[in-house]
A and B are shown apart, each in its own frame.
Chain A
């Protein structure tokens, strides 16, 4: 794979590394020279290696090594050299535990560096040679840094190279393990295991354990590899090494007697991983509209795109709801239930037959549509249907419950995930830095949007600066207050008015319905839906106008606006439901009358014919002619379906008129108009994210409410969402302009989710209420003939389950058990809530502490920085004096100069950058010669902090004290 490219590009890695190295070490020249020498030497070695084709891995890991060194390097030269030698040996495991390793190492090195430094140079040459041979083995071993791992490594190495001369190896081992004990251990281990290691089945259990651990570590590494901040090349190399390692030793591990299970497990996990990856690939391939959304994102930034992502998410949920109802209710009924026309509830009544095929059926959902699987009334109360003995009523009920349960689950899960993802964004302590670092939207790829974004960022900065400089001066607080109160009053009037209007219209429509729909115009028949849609369309505009009175900050204004629209929609929906309830009651009265009529009708029928046995209706009566009840469930479902349809229609029509026609008008009439239409009054419309999201949420609420009585609703909604995805994508790209003021949509993501949850709750309430309290119609729907709809559960328990089960169930459901259970749940909730509260408090407390700590630190550091600066001056003078005397100090002198020069502008910050220098200044005796100290400074100034290694700052803090000791 990347082998060849790695070799060829090796030289430029080296260059890059050197560059980095130089930058890093601009203040420590002596080492630099030392290094340079080594590097030269190594490069020669590398060239040899290259020929053999092993070089690059070491290269990569060495680069890592070097970076790391640079960060954590104490400025001892011997140590440096020593480590270099070491690094050549220990490349393999390096990449893993950078943090812990460094600590261990520093400890080790401190002990043994003396004895080794002498041998060092001697051995280096041998080292280079033996390195190559060992390269492969070395790199394979696990986290070689830990001692046991080191042993492991030794073993593998030997395993690879059993031919290798033992003596040499021995020597090397002494070197490698800097601590005497371990080296001895290792020696023993190696000598003992020398032969055994070739056949892993003869390994002792603990060694096996270790090997297993190493293998597991590798596996873990492979899994987290993608999250590592390494260059891709290094990742690929590490990946391949780890894979080879795992493959190699996994096989070895599996060869034992009782290890078949292990092999099996390994194989299964491998298969499972493969499957997972394929599945993941498949799943992402299935996510629709990715490119569309990308296009919008780059055009309008993340806030508009967030609406479309939300829409897509909604689509997914509705797909699943649709799958549930379609697969478990509609299809079984259509396939296995009695066919159309077999019984009265499945037949269009004689009176309606004439108009049952009218075109109006398409949006009225009367006629044939009403007597089909689309609505509740069509379903039969037969307990089991078809050859599968499909429990239709039970299935219907469970799907209804499942729909709601699934929706709750999804919404809450998404909310939890969002809460995790969006940081603790509520505190205001990072106002400016957030503005600086997160205000650019990386998604933007459109010049116009980019310009808008630049402008909005600039204004937001200016606003923030103004706010910072002075709390804004209020011109006339009384006037503003009065206006705000007035505005709220007006909004309340609007809300009340719209509520009354809906109630009025619904009542009127009932009157019309009693009269018979045929006598009325189209408007009168569809008044309710139209009025609701129109209110939903115009009231937000009215609110917008009213909110101009209030003079809020735009973000606050947006929140108010959202809240008001929410209230409006909710109010409308609930008035609608209350009106529906009235209607249900009316229908039920009617039903009673019809019931009575039917009995008399039947009686008269029987009287009229020869009184045979009462074997049901004589065949002469068509099902269409049988009188029947009004079936309030179907009526409710129909109302919701009509509502959805008219809502959809108004949305689309507003889109076409409000956006498209407006854009056309502005574009084409602009040159023959008296003012500039594009810049002036009508201009192009902006995409209203919040309004659209709210619309979507309420639409979903209606689906949840009505889905029980009209199983076709999720299907309709899927259709609607599908169409609106395309339509809105098109509209937004063709006739909207990027928003001038871009609001962050992401922060309010959970806000919308919370709204969805509220709506879900509010919309399931009436549905559950009707299911629980109102008895189902006597002659239609799957629950006809039962007292309550949920009786179907009991019926199933009694007839389909063994007797003991229903007994257990009845015990479990008696109040004696249920009440304590509820009590327990309440207690648990209370407990969790109070703990979370206390956690929150602790958090606040900690934050406060941290802040005071910061303040203190800042003060301290300021002082330390001043002092350090003075010291530096002093040191420079001293060094200048000494320059003449001591030739050997020249390097350091230069170092000081340079450091001083480079840090002129930043000297304040650089020297007092963090606690360590401060500590050091305190610890060092004041009488200490200035030169070493400046040396320290210089070295400390090496900015070894690579962002790739986040823990590094702690290291420095950790190690600096130890620096002073040698």
Chain B
């Protein structure tokens, strides 16, 4: 990249590599993807740290996220304002957490945020219902949804408050055999 145009300084790249699970090349590629989303908004030169945010609607349209039923939640939970506007930093952060290298604990934290639709730091029945409806495209009857939510909460709820705190969620998800393999997005 050096001969064309410097997108990042070396220090920036090093800093990103320290803060994420990406290599240099991947960070540059991420920038490319970010730039692609809105070529007129995102500058090619990031050495000056421009302040630029892309709205949710643009990011959700990436092919990696497009089919994901939780796409809005993913983007929202990584945005600082909670509305889904992502700066490049947050964009990198998002894919870093979703990358293959990220440890289970980190992924669990963000998975919890994603499934917590009403952002009350608990997964309550409402959240579960939403999750379920998104997963099945609302093809289950309300009774079935009710039953599944009830069962899921019963299984995972350790402190008996009828909703899942993060501790409950973590306990459940760390034993899930395919959480790691499915909760990642290759960029």
Contacts and interface: CB of A to CB of B under 8 A. Distances in A.
A binds B: yes
Contact of B186 (A226, A231, A294): A294
Interface in A218-256: 222, 225-229, 231-233, 235-236, 239-240
A858 B156 contact: no
A461 interface: yes
Nearest to B119: A23
Interface stretch (A35-43, A424-432, A621-629, A762-770): A424-432
A226 B20 CA distance: 5
A233 B80 contact: yes
A946 B96 CA distance: 20
A231 B121 contact: no
A424 to B, nearest CB: 5
Contacts of B166: 945, 947, 950, 952-953
Interface in B88-104: 89-90, 92-93, 96, 98, 102-104
Contacts of A427: 175
Contacts of B155: 429-433
A240 B23 contact: no
Contacts of B49: 1-6
Residue among B68, B158, B181 with max Cβ neighbours from chain A (10 Å):
B181
A432 B152 contact: yes
A950 B23 contact: no
Given A5-B50, A239-B19, A909 B67 contact: no
Contact of B111 (A290, A437, A865): A437
A854 B24 contact: no
Interface in A706-736: none
Contacts of B148: 432, 435-436, 461, 464-465
A441 B182 contact: yes
Contacts of A441: 182
B181 A457 contact: no
A423 B176 contact: yes
A912 B17 CA distance: 44
B90 A440 contact: no
B113 interface: yes
A948 B109 contact: yes
Contacts of A5: 49-51, 87
Interface string B148-159: 100111011111
A430 B175 contact: yes
A458 B80 contact: no
Contacts of B180: 421-422, 746
A454 B137 contact: yes
Given A909-B163, A950-B109, A446 B67 contact: yes
A947 B156 contact: no
Given A226-B96, A434-B172, A2 B70 contact: no
A386 interface: no
Nearest to B53: A9
A610 interface: no
What interface size band does chain B fall in?
A: 35 or more
B87 A468 contact: no
A458 B109 contact: no
A437 B131 contact: yes
Contact of A236 (B15, B81, B184): B15
Nearest to B17: A277
A374 B157 CA distance: 63
A302 interface: yes
A233 B155 CA distance: 37
A908 B186 CA distance: 42
Nearest to A425: B177
Nearest to B137: A454
A746 B178 contact: yes
A298 to B, nearest CB: 7
B15 A436 contact: no
A953 B165 contact: yes
Contacts of B176: 423, 425, 430, 434, 437-438
A458 B140 CA distance: 7
Given A424-B175, A447-B67, A461 B136 contact: yes
Interface string B14-31: 110111110111100000
Contact of A445 (B19, B63, B181): B63
A66 to B, nearest CB: 14
B72 to A, nearest CB: 14
B21 A226 contact: yes
A15 to B, nearest CB: 7
B124 A906 contact: yes
B156 A430 contact: yes
A914 B161 contact: yes
Contacts of A909: 124, 161-163
A654 interface: no
A708 B185 CA distance: 42
Given A423-B175, A430-B176, A226 B19 contact: yes
A849 interface: no
Contacts of B105: 227, 950
A618 to B, nearest CB: 66
Contacts of A908: 162
B112 A445 contact: no
Given A437-B173, A909-B162, A458 B68 contact: no
B108 to A, nearest CB: 8
B36 interface: no
A744 B69 CA distance: 19
A302 B180 CA distance: 11
B174 interface: yes
A421 B109 CA distance: 17
Interface in A947-965: 947-948, 950, 952-953
B144 A445 contact: no
B7 interface: no
A280 interface: yes
Contact of A747 (B12, B69, B177): B177
A943 B158 contact: no
B135 interface: yes
A517 to B, nearest CB: 50
Interface string B21-65: 101111000000000000000000000111100000000000111
Contacts of B66: 445
B118 to A, nearest CB: 10
B82 interface: yes
Interface string A858-883: 11111001000000000000000000
Contacts of A284: 23, 25-26
Contact of A222 (B18, B98, B158, B170): B18
Interface in A924-961: 943-948, 950, 952-953
A445 B109 contact: no
20 contacts: A2-B49, A2-B89, A6-B49, A23-B119, A232-B20, A425-B177, A437-B131, A438-B178, A442-B98, A442-B185, A444-B68, A454-B69, A465-B144, A857-B159, A860-B160, A861-B159, A909-B163, A913-B161, A913-B165, A914-B161
Given A302-B178, A444-B68, 20 more contacts: A1-B15, A229-B106, A231-B93, A232-B20, A290-B186, A294-B186, A423-B175, A423-B176, A433-B152, A433-B153, A437-B173, A440-B135, A442-B98, A446-B67, A458-B139, A468-B147, A857-B159, A909-B163, A945-B121, A945-B165
Interface of A: 1-6, 8-9, 12-13, 15-16, 19-20, 23, 222, 225-229, 231-233, 235-236, 239-240, 277, 280-281, 284-285, 290, 293-294, 297-298, 302, 306, 421-425, 427, 429-447, 449-450, 454, 457-458, 461-462, 464-465, 468, 744-747, 850, 854, 857-862, 865, 906, 908-910, 912-915, 943-948, 950, 952-953
Interface of B: 9, 11-12, 14-15, 17-21, 23-26, 48-51, 63-70, 80-82, 87, 89-90, 92-93, 96, 98, 102-106, 109-113, 115-116, 119-122, 124, 128, 131-132, 135-137, 139-140, 144, 147-148, 151-153, 155-167, 169-170, 172-186
3 tightest Cβ-Cβ pairs between the two chains A and B:
A425-B177, A858-B160, A913-B161
